[in-house]
């Protein structure tokens, strides 16, 4: 009985903490519905004019498209690299594998402002400032540890005897990975891809340092819109940004539940 009460208290505390983190961001929802031309709460009536402006403005649509392309490319590259790293570290069990794992997780530990300064200094001689390639590579470096974590968690529940059985039946390493290992860890791979997409989709600090004119992502346009004017279209764009992020998180949650049930 006492254990059940404790679990309920912990669950209630987790939901309260989540609400504390999420609810302030939802202030953008009523602001985006204001009929006025400046940031304010709607009084008496609501309007969708700012959403109409967002979906018809070439500038906002261009930023939305650029963010989608960069986030999708980042998710693809980070998923491939993170999955390969996780499988490699899982197979090579030595005292150095944990050191390599710790080094690969450094982008999650280092403050983003320091990472942004490092990218800026490194990208200058490589000619990667203010272009898609530089931004995708930077976001991939930041997102790959997320994939490494989720795939490693899936590999922890993988039965090594399945790999051995595949080898005994004559399958080579590539066939074993493609037909045995990857299908077994697919929920972790998909969850990592979604987390990588979310990280790139919402990222602003590194973007501000290494992009200027040619690449203008949605978070950056929102940031500049808040600094330079009070157009409520910024709030509408923020709602779209939040909605896509929450949808991706919800999909990740469903994948995690499926993985927990399959264990």
Predicted pLDDT at 114: 92
DSSP string for residues in 160-213: HHHHHHHHHTT--HHHHIIIIIHHHTHHHHHHHHHHHHHHHHH--HHHHHH-SS
Predicted pLDDT at 101: 82
Predicted pLDDT at 39: 74
Predicted pLDDT at 41: 80
Q: Rounded to whole angstroms, how far apart are CA atoms 203 and 207? A: 7
Predicted confidence (pLDDT) per residue in 51-110, tens digit: 888 888 898 899 999 999 999 999 999 999 999 998 888 887 777 777 888 888 888 888
DSSP character at residue 127: T
Is the separation of the CB atoms in 216 and 69 below 8 Å?
Answer: no
Is the separation of the CB atoms in 140 and 81 below 8 Å?
Answer: yes
Predicted pLDDT at 206: 93
**All domains of the chain in start order, with CATH:** 53-262 (1.10.3720.10)
Q: Measuring CA to CA, which residue among 27, 28, 57, 32 is closest to residue 46?
A: 32
Predicted pLDDT at 256: 65
Predicted pLDDT at 207: 92
Predicted confidence (pLDDT) per residue in 172-189, tens digit: 777 777 778 888 888 888
Predicted pLDDT at 19: 76
Q: Rounded to whole angstroms, how far apart are CA atoms 29 and 3? A: 39
Non-local (6+) Cβ contacts of 242 within 8 A are 25, 26, 28
List, for the chain, all residue ranges whose pLDDT scores fall below the cut of 70.
Answer: 1-3, 228-229, 255-263
Half-sphere exposure of 132 (CA within 13 A, CB side): 11
């Amino acid at each position: 009985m006492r254990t059940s009460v404790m679990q309920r208290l912990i669950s209630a505390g987790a939901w309260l903490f989540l609400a504390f983190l999420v609810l302030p961001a939802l202030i953008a929802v009523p602001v985006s519905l204001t009929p006025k031309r400046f940031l304010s709460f709607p009084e008496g009536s609501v309007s969708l004019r700012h959403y109409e402006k967002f979906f018809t403005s070439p500038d906002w649509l261009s930023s939305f498209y650029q963010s989608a392309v960069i986030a999708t490319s980042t998710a693809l590259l980070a998923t491939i690299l993170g999955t390969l790293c996780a499988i490699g570290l899982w197979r090579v069990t030595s005292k150095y594998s944990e050191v390599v794992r710790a080094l690969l997780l450094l982008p999650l530990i280092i403050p983003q402002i320091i990472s942004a300064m490092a990218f800026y200094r490194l990208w200058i001689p490589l000619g990667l400032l203010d272009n898609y390639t530089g931004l995708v590579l930077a976001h991939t470096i930041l997102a790959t540890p997320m994939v490494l974590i989720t795939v490693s968690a899936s590999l922890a529940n993988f039965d090594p005897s399945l790999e051995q059985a595949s080898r005994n039946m004559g399958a080579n390493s590539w066939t074993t990975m493609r037909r045995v290992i990857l299908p077994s860890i697919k929920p972790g791979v998909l969850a990592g891809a979604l987390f990588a997409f979310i990280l790139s989709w919402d990222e602003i600090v590194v973007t501000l340092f290494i992009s200027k004119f040619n690449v203008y992502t949605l978070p950056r346009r929102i940031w500049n819109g808040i600094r330079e004017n009070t157009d409520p279209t910024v709030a509408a764009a923020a709602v779209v940004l939040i909605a896509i992020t929450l949808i991706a998180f919800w999909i990740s949650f469903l994948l995690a539940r499926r993985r927990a049930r399959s264990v």
